[in-house]
Amino acid sequence: MTELDEFRATVRDWCAQHIPTDWRAAQTGFSDEEFVSFQKSWFAELHSAGYAVPHWPAEWGGGLSVPQQIVLYQELAAHDAPRLVLAFVGIHHAASTLLVAGTDAQRRRHLPAILDGEIWVQGFSEPEAGSDLAALRTSARRDGETFVVNGQKIWASGAMHADWCLLLARTDPNAPKRHGISYFLMDMATPGIEVRPIRNALGESHFCEIFLDDVVIPAANMVGTVHQGWQVAQATLGAERGMTMLELAERLSNAGFRWLVQACAPIDDSVVADRLAQFEIELAGLRGLCRDLVERSETGHAGPADASIVKLYYSELLQRITGFGAEIAGLPGQTVLTKPASSGWESGNWMLDFIGSWEWTIPGGASEIQRTIIGERGLGLPR
Ligand SMILES: Cc1cc2nc3c(=O)[nH]c(=O)nc-3n(C[C@H](O)[C@H](O)[C@H](O)COP(=O)(O)OP(=O)(O)OC[C@H]3O[C@@H](n4cnc5c(N)ncnc54)[C@H](O)[C@@H]3O)c2cc1C
Give the total number of structural domains in the chain: 3
> Per the domain annotation, does 106 fall within a domain?
no
257 lines ligand 1 (CB under 6 A): no
To the question of pTM greater than 0.85 for the whole model, the response is: yes
Find the 59 Cα to ligand 1 centroid distance in Å.
35
Find the 225 Cα to ligand 1 centroid distance in Å.
26
Task: Name the nearest CA neighbour of 292 among 223, 256, 245.
Answer: 245
Task: Name the nearest CA neighbour of 80 among 262, 268, 306.
Answer: 262
- CA–CA gap between residue 91 and residue 89 (Å, rounded): 6
Nearest CA to ligand 1 atom 31: 131
Give the 3-state secondary structure of residue 339.
coil
End residue of a domain, out of 178, 211, 228:
228
131 lines ligand 1 (CB under 6 A): yes
On whether both 168 and 247 belong to a single domain, the answer is no
Nearest CA to ligand 1 atom 21: 130
Tell me the DSSP string of 54-111. Answer: TTS-GGGT----HHHHHHHHHHHHHTTPPP-TTTHIIIIIIHHHHHHH--HHHHHHHH
78 lines ligand 1 (CB under 6 A): no
On whether both 172 and 238 belong to a single domain, the answer is no
On whether both 321 and 266 belong to a single domain, the answer is yes
Instruction: State phi, psi for 337 to the nearest 5 degrees.
Output: -120, 165
Query: If the chain, 383 residues long, is cut into consecutive pieces of 10 residues, what is the mean pLDDT of each piece?
Result: 95 97 90 95 97 96 94 96 95 96 98 98 97 97 98 97 98 95 98 96 89 98 97 90 86 94 95 97 96 88 92 96 95 80 86 91 94 96 92
246 lines ligand 1 (CB under 6 A): no
359 lines ligand 1 (CB under 6 A): yes
Mark whether 240 is an active-site residue: yes
> Per the domain annotation, does 251 fall within a domain?
yes
- CA–CA gap between residue 201 and residue 204 (Å, rounded): 7
> Per the domain annotation, does 103 fall within a domain?
no
Among candidate residues 126, 240, 282, 359, the one labeled active-site is 240
> Per the domain annotation, does 33 fall within a domain?
yes
End residue of a domain, out of 79, 94, 109:
94
156 lines ligand 1 (CB under 6 A): yes
On whether both 198 and 256 belong to a single domain, the answer is no
On whether both 261 and 204 belong to a single domain, the answer is no
- CA–CA gap between residue 206 and residue 197 (Å, rounded): 7
The domain spanning residue 31 has which CATH number?
A: 1.10.540
On whether both 371 and 269 belong to a single domain, the answer is yes
Report the pLDDT value the prediction gives residue 336, as an integer from 0 to 100: 66
Element of type H or E holding 121: strand 120-123
> Per the domain annotation, does 113 fall within a domain?
no
- CA–CA gap between residue 317 and residue 255 (Å, rounded): 14
The domain spanning residue 324 has which CATH number?
A: 1.20.140.10
Find the 214 Cα to ligand 1 centroid distance in Å.
26
- CA–CA gap between residue 150 and residue 215 (Å, rounded): 7
On whether both 175 and 157 belong to a single domain, the answer is yes
Find the 313 Cα to ligand 1 centroid distance in Å.
17
Q: Which of 88, 120, 124, 125 to mutate to test the pocket of ligand 1 (most atoms within 8 A of CB)?
A: 125
On whether both 364 and 270 belong to a single domain, the answer is yes
On whether both 237 and 359 belong to a single domain, the answer is yes
Nearest CA to ligand 1 atom 51: 363
- CA–CA gap between residue 44 and residue 233 (Å, rounded): 28
Nearest CA to ligand 1 atom 37: 131
On whether both 194 and 266 belong to a single domain, the answer is no
On whether both 208 and 246 belong to a single domain, the answer is no
Q: 202 lies in which domain range?
A: 119-228
Atom of ligand 1 nearest to the CA of 122: 9
Report the pLDDT value the prediction gives residue 293, as an integer from 0 to 100: 92
The domain spanning residue 158 has which CATH number?
A: 2.40.110.10
Report the pLDDT value the prediction gives residue 334, as an integer from 0 to 100: 81
> Per the domain annotation, does 112 fall within a domain?
no
On whether both 218 and 244 belong to a single domain, the answer is no
> Per the domain annotation, does 64 fall within a domain?
yes
End residue of a domain, out of 59, 94, 129:
94
> Per the domain annotation, does 104 fall within a domain?
no
